[in-house]
Amino acid sequence: MTTRRNSTLSRANRPDGLVDVTSCDISALEELMAGMGKERFRALQVYKWIWQRGVTDFHQMTNISKANRAELANRATIGQLVAASIQESTDGTRKYVWQCQDGSNIESVLIPDENRPGPGKPRMTLCVSTQVGCAMACTFCLTGDLGLKRNLSAGEIALQPLLVQQDIGPDVPITNIVMMGMGEPLHNSDNVVVALRNMLDEEALNFSHRRITVSTVGLIPAMKKLASDLPVNIAVSLNATTEEQRRTVMPITKRYSMEMLMQACRELPLPRAKRITFEYVMMAGFNDSMDDARRLAVLMRGVKSKVNLIPYNENPDRDIRRPSEARVKEFQNYLVNKRIHTSVRTTRGRDISAACGQLGKAAETMAKRL
Ligand code: SAH
């Protein structure tokens, strides 16, 4: 069988020569089936078995003939993640540590929001990881301490919502997915895009694009490509208001200056109703002055934006402090008065190290223990 070198199908090929079907989108599955001399519609059957029924073995695919199932099992495999631990916080947040097939550990965090005003089901946000570790080395973030171990496959990314949903049962559907766990999603764009397609496809996980957010340090070319390829929400971790300030905490600023970043954000081809979310981790005495608030408001000019303030989650490995609530409020009020949509992210799951910037430590310790 011939496959284009960087095609989705070739990337789903594992070192052992088997194709991991969880890393295939529907067209890669069709290509796989065609290569095996099978009808196209078989691909859709396999696709649904995996993403809608959650089967983990080709032999469970009962609408496919035994001979075909056996042939599939010779040529392909169904990737898996094993739950190494599931912890629940006093606030209801659940942290999943997964063991990948190569022994690496990654984390996902499920954040229920029962207090959402209005009728309907509670919001259930799942925060997923996209890499083992991270190469971006933002100084305040614990995942950065690990360095980049490897990219997650498309399967390892999209399996996180599938398996968490199986764990919590069908009565409480995951409503939102945020790629804000371990890793920089746009440093693993090819796999992230395949995973996103499987999250969005109505024959697979069937999430609305309005409920999926990809968060990035601002890798400009990948960000532009994502915005033109898929209609998902984009969040940019800004975290500073001047070039020098951002350089000291986010080394990526040396490659893409803030000016380049803001220009790219102004020009991003966004669907009409969409805004870019700017995440702003507030660190006491570093970027929480009212001068920062003023500069941030200026930066937001001409961008379809909203700001999400994230008071720093303190941890024993850093001297960084979170600003007082009063300061956060004052900062927010300033922006709101400038007519900038501004929210403050509540810290969730701190007691189980599941809060923003805390992921990776547990996974690392667990990997050592295993
Ligand atoms: N690499 C992507 C995805 C990670 S998202 C990105 O940077 O956007 C993680 C978010 O948590 C980012 O906005 C990051 O700035 C923020 N963060 C990291 N450490 C934090 C901490 N200790 N407290 C609060 N937020 C933190």
Neighbours of 169 (CB within 10 A): 8
Confidence of residue 170 (pLDDT cuts 50, 70, 90): very high
Across residues 54-64, what is the average pLDDT?
96
The crossing angle, in degrees rounded to 10, of helices 189-200 and 154-168 is 40
Neighbours of 8 (CB within 10 A): 23
Q: What is the reported pLDDT for 368?
A: 55
Place of tokens 């695919």: 61
pTM, two decimal places:
0.95
Structure-block tokens of residue 329: 């409020």
Average pLDDT score, the chain = 94
Q: What is the reported pLDDT for 1?
A: 47
Across residues 222-246, what is the average pLDDT?
97
Residue closest to 279 by CA, chosen among 241, 323, 314, 310: 310
Across residues 219-239, what is the average pLDDT?
97
Q: What is the reported pLDDT for 350?
A: 85
How far does residue 214's CA lie from ligand 1's centre (Å)?
Answer: 12
Confidence of residue 96 (pLDDT cuts 50, 70, 90): very high
- The protein residue with its alpha carbon nearest to ligand 1, atom 1, reads 184
Pocket of ligand 1 (CB under 6 A): 136, 140-141, 180, 184, 215-217, 237, 239, 279, 281, 310, 312-313, 356-357
Across residues 229-247, what is the average pLDDT?
97
* Candidate from 127, 157, 237, 286 with most ligand 1 atoms within 8 A of CB, to mutate: 237
* Candidate from 107, 126, 130, 141 with most ligand 1 atoms within 8 A of CB, to mutate: 141
> pLDDT at residue 116 above 70?
no
**Considering only 67-76, 116-125, 131-140, which range has the smallest mean pLDDT?**
116-125
Confidence of residue 338 (pLDDT cuts 50, 70, 90): very high
Which residues are identified as catalytic?
107, 356
